[in-house]
Structure 1
Amino acid sequence: MIQRITDKVFVVGMEGSANVVIISIPKGVIVVDTSLFPEKAQKIREFIESVLRKEILFVVNTHYHPDHTFGNVVFEDVQIISSNLTSEKMRMMDEEYLKELPSNGKVVTASKTFEEEYREGPVTLKKVGGHTPDSSVVIFEQERVLVAGDLVFNDLHPEIVQDSKITEWLEVLENLKKLKIDWVIPGHGNHSDKVCLDLMIKYLAKIQRLLDGTITYAEILSDENFSKRKFPELFSWGLENLIAH
């Protein structure tokens, strides 16, 4: 499903899947994340080239997770940009890592990397960490849009992985609240305003309290910010990952 957020920003996503974002600037189009499936990435490319009739300037990967990067193979002839750390983590994907995942032919890493920040016209890429050490965001100041990657899950339980750092994640979200933005596009779930940043902060803060022993499991389950989110199995999985490290 393709949603138009502003005149220059589109989001392609389905129930629970990673969002792919299309940003139109005067020179052409920027694609943020490429999904898990090359077939989906190919349809998105066809939409850009046939319907929008725009040149793809470059592709951005917000972090290394396969559901945001495996569609890179469709854009191999286009410049792909990520942080150095994202590229490094993708190069570490070995057979053991890939065996449970859909085959996409090969892992395609960035052709251009940045350390902390990269700017192209009205669009800024920033590595911020939190969800994963390499997590980056894309800020489109002109349209007041933040592409948050997996730092934000809206109406869904977030994927908390073994290299997630809750304290850092909370700090990043507080900093993102200071941006002059009207729209937040999460890594998964529907776009929203800054309210989804507050809900993610409240969610993660309660997870931290659960780990610290200052709140009970029952208290969390009675909170609508938990009980109304989809994919509750991710809640248990996330706790296991936090406990594991």
Structure 2
Amino acid sequence: MNAVSADRPEPGQGPVALALRVLLLLAYPVLSHVASLRNEGMWAAAALAGLVLLCLLEPLARLRPWAWTVLLASCALLWWLGGSVWAWMLLLAPPVVFPLLVAWGFARSLLPGQIPLITRIVCALYARAGMPVTVPLERYTRRLSCAWAVVLLMLALINLVLAMSAVPDGLLAAFGIQPWWPVTHEQWSWCANIADWGLIGGFFALEYAVRSQLFPQRPYRNAWDFMRQMGQLGPAFWRDLLR
């Protein structure tokens, strides 16, 4: 009985929870894009409600009363805001806030006495395969962590400029200021919800190709196997990594 309990994943950390997280993460840009194309607040409210659910998934699975209270209150507030321009304006925040938070996580891991995020991931992958992490690889992972911090920071700044330039409900327009380079809801969405993911995916693909040439001896066969092995590191590893 104890062995079975030990192998059982904690609430909010099993494969079903992981699949739900991926589904919610993928659903957000789709719902946000639809909201921008249709200019309807309820679609925006649905996209934001999905983000709230994504952030609260683990405490909800643990049946924490405060998490259910926050979820219900957030959904009620978003439903109320769905009939106004404020629901769409709230969509301007995640493309700025989330890349900025992740960029800060990468940058913070570069401080003295810290281990860079990419270094920790690579060390965990190589340890599972019983392979050593060489000094050149460790140096590369530090530089790569710095590169991701810069890329995500630049992405957040670009999205902030777009959020300020959106019309008629952007940040500047809300204060009666005409943007120097106005963009429509649709143009903002194509950049913030579609192009962002393309840039991140392109940087990842380019970096993986460079890494494959520089370090041919590695514990994964290809990019798909690399992603699969990262998933096998487990929820506890990723939760501790991002703290």
TM bucket (normalised to shorter chain) is: under 0.3
Q: Which has the larger radius of gyration?
A: 2
More strand by share: 1
Give the structure, 1 or 2, with the largest relative contact order (CA under 8 Å, sep 6 or more): 2
Query: Going by fraction, where is helix more abundant, 1 or 2?
Result: 2
Q: TM-score, normalised by structure 2?
A: 0.26
Compute the TM-score of the two structures, normalised by the length of structure 1: 0.25
